[in-house]
Every structure is written in C-alpha cells, then in structure tokens.
Amino acid sequence: MTMESTVPSTEAIDNTARYPLDPLTGAEIETAAAVITDSEYSTPTLKFVMIQLAEPEKPSSLTFAGVAETPRRAFVSMYDGAAKLIYEAVVDVGARVIDSWKAVPGRFPSYLVEHMTGVEEVVRADPRWQEAMRRRGVTDFDLAMIDPWPAGYYGSQDHYDNSALVCRPLTFMRAAASEHGYARPVEGLIVTFDLDAMKVIDIEDHGVVPLPPTAGNYAEKFMFDENNRPAFTKFRDDVKAIEITQPDGPSFTVDGWKVQWQKWSMRVGFNPREGITLHEITYTDRGETRPIVYRASLSEMVVPYGDTEPTHWNKNVFDMGEVGMGFSANPLTLGCDCLGEIFYFDGTVNDSSGNAVTIPNAICMHEEDYGISWKHTDFRTGEVEVRRARRLVISMICTVGNYEYGFFWYFYNDASMEVEVKLSGVLTTGAVPDGEEPRWGKLVAPNIYGPNHQHFFNFRLDMSIDGAGNSVYEVDSIPEPDPELNPHHNAWITRDTLVASEAAGARDWDWTKGRYWKISNPSKRNELGAPVAYKLTPRDVVPVMVQEGSYIYDRARFVQHNLWVTRYDPDEKFAAGDYMYQSADMQGLPEFIADDAPLEDTDVVLWYTLGAHHVVRPEDWPVMPCAYTGFHLKPVGFFDGNPALDIPPSPPAACHHH
C-alpha cells in the first residue's frame, strides 16, 4: 500500500511545548542514556532495556493544566550481563542529572532489541543443532526460521544466583526463502540459549517427527505451493470499492498529544512496555469538565499453552513484560490497517545502546460511524426520530513473533468507552506423524496442529469518577428473596455489595447473576439523589485452564480473577510484577492486595482480566481471521438522562442505487 494520510503525524508537532505526561522525545531518550553513559555507574557491559517517561506524581486536581512547570524525567531500566543485575535510574533530562539509582537483584529483564534478531544466526551455526536437523533430513540450514521464545520456567535451575538470562528458541523450516515457515515446525527440538553470552547452552532432541508435507502460504506471491496446489485460485472479483470520506475533515482536534473529540478529552501516551497509554480522560457535561479515568493502559498479558509435549508445555509468554508492546508496535498503513480520515502518532523507543528509534504511525486515530445510537417511531403520528452513533478509535497493532495483537480504545458519543483486543497472525504449530491425532490440540492441515492455548490480557484503569474518592460495588441481579413480595415468581432485584477492602478485592464474574461492577463517587449525586457512577461490563468471559501446581500458575496469578480492585499506589503498575522473566515466584496483584488497604471512598484502581480461549480450527490456518474480546465502561447515573440526546440528526441521503 502506498496511500498516505492527509492529516499530519506527530512529526509535524515535535517542537510544541511538552506537557508533563507527554512521552519522551527522541532527544530526551538519548539525553537520558548519555547522562548514564557518562556517569560513574556506567560499565562496558551495561545495556539499556527501556527508557520512558518517569510520570510525575498524580496531582490532587487530576490534571496538570495550570500546574507549575514540572521537570521532565526519564525512567531507565538497564541490564548488565556481566554482573547479572538489573539497574533502575531516574534521570532529570533538563538538568542532565541522575536523581536516583538502584540495583534490582534476583530479577531478569525483558528482551533487549538485539535478542530478537541475533539468536537465529548463532543457533543456525551450532553443530549440535545442525546434527539434529540432519537427522530430520534438513541440509539447507539457511531456510531455517528460529524464533527466540522467552524461557518460560522449567524449575529451580532457571533461577539461581548468577544464573544466565536464557531463552528457548523454536525451529521451523521454510521450503523456500521468505515462505511461511510455521507450516513446518521442527517437533521435539529444544534449544537453551544464553542471552548474556549469546551462545547455545544445550540442545535437547526428543525424537524425530517428519516435517509436515504441505505449505501454509497465504500471500499473493505464494498463491501456488511447490506442488502447484493453490492456496487460493484468484482474488475475489466482486469486492467493490468502499470509501470513507469526511468532506469537512474529522471532528477531533489534536494539540500535541492532547485529543478532543466532541465532549471527550484525553491525552495519548506511548512507551516501550505498554505501548498506548491514555491519561486525563474527561467528559464535558453541560459546560462542566468531569473526570472519568486518570490513566488507562494494558498492564500485562500472558499466553499459557495447554499441551504437555516437550516442545510446547513450557510456552507461557508474557508478551508485554517479557518483550514489550511498544517495541512490538507496527508502523500502520492507511487503507490497510486504518481507513478514513486518520491522524497518526509516531512512537519513539530506544535500542540497547540508548539510541532513539522512531516507529512511524505507531498509533492510529480516526472516527467511525457505528450505526444507530437511538431511535423511536411514534406509530400514532408517524413521526420518527433517529440519531446515528459515532465512535473515536485509538489503536495500535503489535507483532510478537507469530501473533498479531490489535489494541483498540473506543469512545462513543453516548459517553461510554470500550476496550477491544483483536487477535490475528499465525498459529505457533506442532507436528504429528501420519495418522496420529494430537491429544492437546487440533489438526489444521495434514500433520500440522495448533496446541490448545489461551490469551489473557489485564488492563489497569486508574479511576476518577467525578474525582478521586470512589467506591466499587459488585452488582448482582437475583430473584426477589422475600417470597411474600414475589407471589408470581417473576420479580427480581439488584443487590449491591461494597468491595470494602483489598482482601475482598479479587472478584469473579457470575453469568447467573448478570454481574457487573459499579464505580461510584459517594460525594457526588445525580438529580435522583444517587451517587454518580460508571459500570464495567464483561464480554466473552472464558474459563481459566491454568492449573495450580503448574509453573505458570504462580507467575500469572492475575488470570485467576476477572477483576481486582486495589488502592492507588504509583509503584503498582503491572499485574504480574515489574520483572517476571525467568522467575517462578508470585508477583504483582496478589502482593498488591496483601496489606488489605481500605477501598471505600478512596483512590481506587481497577484491574480487569479478559481472555481468549483458543481451540484452533482449520479455518484459523494458514493465517487467522481476527478474533475479538474486550469489555465496556458505561455511565450509570453519571448523567441525568441520555447523554446522546444532543446528537444532531443526520441529513437524509438517498442510497446510490436510487
């Protein structure tokens, strides 16, 4: 695709004044790295893992508008492979001084940039790996595709004093250069790789399984496989052009990283770990700017596999905490990834030497028609009133190895919000001999199967419903409990249960009760006298198949509950902890609620876990159609009526064929 946006990206606004929550610029990233490199703390083996904004302390006003100038600081995480230590620093980039420095012993960092590219070459040259490949009839090693999977956790040998940072690469074989390699997984071959020394530690070979015979190609250049069999015969010729036009331009305005759209206002952010972050989300109601969410982001994700075969059982990747969603963000393309009148935000990350790296068009923003917002026909008079819904979309798409994850934040003109995750890409595959059915997965093509697996995403929502003093209630719909009040056996009520303290903060959805969670402000009342509130409603809740006794159970405790509620703590940002790579111990949310802080009428944070349950289908091969999951935030008594009443009517328009 060569189409280009008619709306400028953030490259055109680089010289505007910096707001305290704006992401670091490339110059600020490199300044922070230079300050450290020139300091007494620097060593020849010190590498930069992530350099991002050190967000200033949350103000009581929930906005930095009108606040005195705030110093720009960088939070820098580093790894010294020789010392086997993580270091953290805060650098004042304006004053060019290090404000704080500390070592983090006993933890391992997420991937450095070169880990994703350098492993393949070293493995391919290893004689033990080559011998294992010859046993499988492979002699052209250049066609091997070696994915540097994070280590997972095998046991205590993976984590001890002075242990190496390791990964466990998986091997796939292309039949031709640039072909779809996941169609030929090399089953039973496990590499243990030392990322500190960049060398192979060990090769395990659990037995030869023949490489699957068929290609899995899907691109036009591979319309036919090596046996001249069609992946598809031709492109459809009945797809007519569709154009999204806004003759008057988009309804949103952008000032630096601040976005205003209809009555919504927010600030967009970006960093190497989380990717998109959203800040100071407010809604203007009859001239009053009302806060709803102070900060919202993906907090962690994990992909546990349910296959006990040697090549698959340890697969449980924390794609955000072990790799980084910002690092994995795609440069998006108009007409392909995004359609319509688009504004792009570039993402700026770092390499391990501290150089700034720009990901152009990392975040896409546009608005969409979303069908009918509300409608009524008065059958007596024939009068019809109808309004069309519209939503603002802020999104990014990340590639982590074989999978693509799309993260979409939707803002509607009825004052509701939605988070949607779209999953696509290519399955990580296994191979079985002729005539064998996989026990822990499903065949997608001859001799190729996709293991059973799940995806869990935890989103952190720092709530501010009309201010920082909020309370959370679990709301259940239940049959009328008093038989005398329910003579017809048809009555039902809603029951609110206060989540009073963190000890009760881990909550589970119950479909039999139509459960949702309400975040209210007891100090603010609507015209009916009820506290103003928003509610979180789940979508597509899936069962958790991670079992106690597995290594992943303690590493990903956040998946065990749909919702966690904590009292705000600026140091608590990630649901599975700051550093979970190659670590078995419990971190994150179970630790956060251990002090049982009171939660009523205080600054609360919601952590919502959503999942995708993947029993694979042949239709998921060779590339997977998007699967969708997410959740909603909707006003409930926040307004005194339908906030979408003032949407103007749309002018009647004849259909084209009329």
**Which strand ranges, in their side-by-side order, compose the sheet holding 624-635?**
343-350, 356-377, 384-400, 403-412, 417-425, 624-635, 531-539, 516-525, 471-479, 492-498
Token digits for 352? Answer: 């391990």
Give me the catalytic one of 22, 80, 307, 319.
Answer: 319
Q: Are 404 and 425 in contact (CB under 8 A)?
A: yes
Spatial CB neighbours of 623, under 8 Å, sequence gap ≥ 6:
218, 424, 425, 426
Written in H, E and C, the secondary structure of 6-36 is CCCCHHHHCCCCCCCCCCCCHHHHHHHHHHH
The Cα 175–Cα 280 span in angstroms is: 51
* Of 499, 56, 9, 69, nearest in space to 280 by CA: 56
* Of 588, 591, 590, 570, nearest in space to 580 by CA: 588
Q: Are 293 and 286 in contact (CB under 8 A)?
A: no
Give me the catalytic one of 153, 403, 410, 551.
Answer: 403
CA-angle at 651, arms to 649 and 652, nearest 5° = 120
Owner of token pair 């493995």: 123
Helix (H) or strand (E) holding 394: strand 384-400
Catalytic status, residue 403: yes
The Cα 458–Cα 559 span in angstroms is: 8
The Cα 273–Cα 582 span in angstroms is: 17
Owner of token pair 């292309």: 174
The Cα 35–Cα 412 span in angstroms is: 44
Q: Burial code of 526-552, b = ≥16 C-beta within 10 A, e = fewer?
A: beeeebbbbbbbbeebbebebeeebbb
Spatial CB neighbours of 651, under 8 Å, sequence gap ≥ 6:
none
* Of 8, 625, 5, 623, nearest in space to 335 by CA: 5
Owner of token pair 């017809």: 488
The Cα 424–Cα 625 span in angstroms is: 6
The Cα 137–Cα 442 span in angstroms is: 26
The Cα 605–Cα 572 span in angstroms is: 10
The Cα 479–Cα 157 span in angstroms is: 54
Token digits for 503? Answer: 């000890």
Catalytic status, residue 319: yes
The Cα 653–Cα 617 span in angstroms is: 42
Q: Are 407 and 395 in contact (CB under 8 A)?
A: yes
Q: What are the CA-CA distances from residue 163 to residues 46, 576, 633 (Å)?
A: 17, 22, 44
Q: Are 74 and 91 in contact (CB under 8 A)?
A: yes
CA 503 to chain centre: 27
Q: Are 16 and 8 in contact (CB under 8 A)?
A: no
Catalytic residues: 319, 403
